[in-house]
Amino acid sequence: MSKKVAVIAIGGNSLIKDKAHQSVQEQYFAADETAKHIVEMIKEGWDVVIGHGNGPQVGFLLQKAEIAEKVANLAMAPLEVCGAQSQGQIGYQLVQCLQNEMKRAGVNKAAACVIEQTVVSKEDPAFQNPSKPIGGFMTEEEAKIKERDLGWNVVEDAGRGWRRVVPSPLPQRIVELDAIKALIDAGIIVVSIGGGGIPVVEREDGTLEGIAAVIDKDFGNSLLAQNLNADMLVISTAVEKVAINFGKPEQQWLDHMTLAEAKQYMEEGVHFKKGSMAPKIQAIINFLEAGGKEAIITNPENILRAIHGETGTRITK
């Protein structure tokens, strides 16, 4: 029997249900819920690589680093190191949840986390226009000191104070691709591509260095699905289905979209919100255009039903 490989990008709601449930322990319970549903898929013969978001978690780590710097003069943590820390923390939790849920379900498979770097290009236009706000608010004086001493890009944020902004370039290459492939070939469930990957740039001689940026997790996971020739890309998020005319009176939930329809809706520009659903649809368009056959968007509790064609939004060539 040939392998069926799925890349599953899990959204923020698989770790933080709402503002009142943000502790590490509560994130573990949320991750376990999602792990249960992924194990149902594994039970049906899927080999999976799971990528996850990390925006709030990196935010917490940055805030801790900022307080530690103020209170105890500890050196400020570089953003890409916070990204790596979040991959480690979330990866640990997800892997353990998967191991425990497989144990309970009688599935005899191993799971492992691969800390992953994603190459971005310094020529990416995003570096000309850093626009993603990260970390806490600062006074103008604090912001100017960071700009001078650490080279941060800082902007005034709608009268609320000053914030650091970083670029969000497109992912170009998954550095640990061969390692992920080897694990999948060995039948091991993989957690990787956390937060779209730790952003790195390639020096002239091919060596790598970390860079302060953030990568869209849906684009990062789409790139992995393309590189693995995955049979399916699953994007798990907070909605059961995708709608056109989202939030408008004529809103309509979709069971299915073709690639051509997805491109058409994207062009119309009114259906998918920028920064939430639009990048997911674009990530799926990229996967299908690169030869992928099908993709699904749904919420964690409906993953298996969506794979069986009972719900979710399916996007095919």
**Known catalytic residues?**
12-13, 132, 217, 280
CB-based closest residue to ligand ADP? 11
Q: Which of 315, 317, 292 is nearest to 7 (CA)?
A: 292
In order of 70, 139, 163, 290, the CA distances from 156 in angstroms are 21, 9, 6, 40
**Segment near ligand ADP (CB under 6 A), from 126-134, 140-148, 158-166, 233-241?**
233-241
Query: Which C-beta is closer to ligand ADP: that of 77 or that of 244?
Result: 244
* Binding status of residue 166 toward ligand ADP by CB under 6 A: no
Closest approach, Cβ 70 to ligand ADP, in A, equals 30
**Segment near ligand ADP (CB under 6 A), from 60-68, 157-165, 240-248, 287-295?**
240-248
- The Cα 248–Cα 245 span in angstroms is 6
Would you call 223 exposed, middle or buried from its count of C-beta atoms within 10 A (0-12, 13-18, 19+)?
Answer: buried
Closest approach, Cβ 271 to ligand ADP, in A, equals 5
Q: Which of 5, 39, 4 is nearest to 225 (CA)?
A: 5
- The Cα 212–Cα 4 span in angstroms is 36
Closest approach, Cβ 42 to ligand ADP, in A, equals 21
Q: Which of 2, 15, 6, 3 is nearest to 194 (CA)?
A: 15
Three-class SS state of 283: helix
Closest approach, Cβ 276 to ligand ADP, in A, equals 3
Closest approach, Cβ 83 to ligand ADP, in A, equals 16
To 10 degrees, the CA torsion angle through 220, 7, 91, 170? 0
Query: Which C-beta is closer to ligand ADP: that of 103 or that of 248?
Result: 248
Q: Out of 110, 112, 188, 243, point to the residue binding ligand ADP (CB under 6 A).
A: 243
Q: Out of 51, 53, 130, 171, point to the residue binding ligand ADP (CB under 6 A).
A: 53
Tell me if 215 sits within 8 A of 199, measured CB to CB.
yes
Q: Out of 152, 162, 219, 272, point to the residue binding ligand ADP (CB under 6 A).
A: 272
Which residues are at the interface with ligand ADP (CB under 6 A)?
11-12, 53, 237-239, 242-243, 246, 271-273, 276-277
